[in-house]
Structure 1
């Protein structure tokens, strides 16, 4: 097994794997993109109940723009939001929190 050092100089030589549904995979990928972290770092921080602090950078802004465009298209398609749109509503909430936090950096 390949041994790799993380950013704190620790060896990361254990693999943790699990299965998710298509919907969970999409939501996870969206949240990772919005965080600006690698998927490994995002999942590790969430599993260990550590804060995910988003640092504004071009990749995060692009992810926010793409997510907002996708949400806009979905909202145009829907006449009313229903309980079936939990993932969409959760993603929208994460985007709002992220944008609010990024706005706070400029002030």
Structure 2
């Protein structure tokens, strides 16, 4: 029982949960984790338990946002007049918009 296996409520985490994903799903998960600024394990806990993922602005988050925005810009430049926009690109754009809105302190209307 090492200290590394205890969470912030002093619960001992000794059970492993694993699941398989496709390469595309793995890429989407990794993008969301990078944009959240959280470790992958913490991000997965919060998403699986339906808890809020609050992004704390830090250099790592800003770097991930910059890289994702550059990728989105390159993809949008490739697309001719908005035709052929795939759902994954729209999901990434929506995630970035939510994160940037939260970093500015704006409330999202749902």
Would you say same fold, with TM above 0.5? yes
Alignment of 1:1-107 (within 5 A): 4-79=5-80, 80-82=82-84, 85-104=86-105
**TM-score, normalising length from structure 2?**
0.86
C-alpha RMSD of the superposition:
1.9
In structure 1, C-alpha distance between the alignment counterparts of 2:60 and 2:44, rounded to whole Å: 18
Greater shift in the superposed pair: 74-83 or 52-61: 74-83
Residue segments in structure 1 that go unaligned for 5+ positions in a row: none
Query: Residue by residue, what CA displacement relative to the aligned partner does 1:24-62 show, whole Å, maximum 9, x if unpaired?
Result: 100000000010111111111011110101011111111
Higher RCO (CA-CA < 8 Å; seq separation 6+): 1
In structure 1, C-alpha distance between the alignment counterparts of 2:15 and 2:60, rounded to whole Å: 28
Q: How many pairs were matched up?
A: 104
Which has the larger helix fraction?
Answer: 1
Residue segments in structure 2 that go unaligned for 5+ positions in a row: none
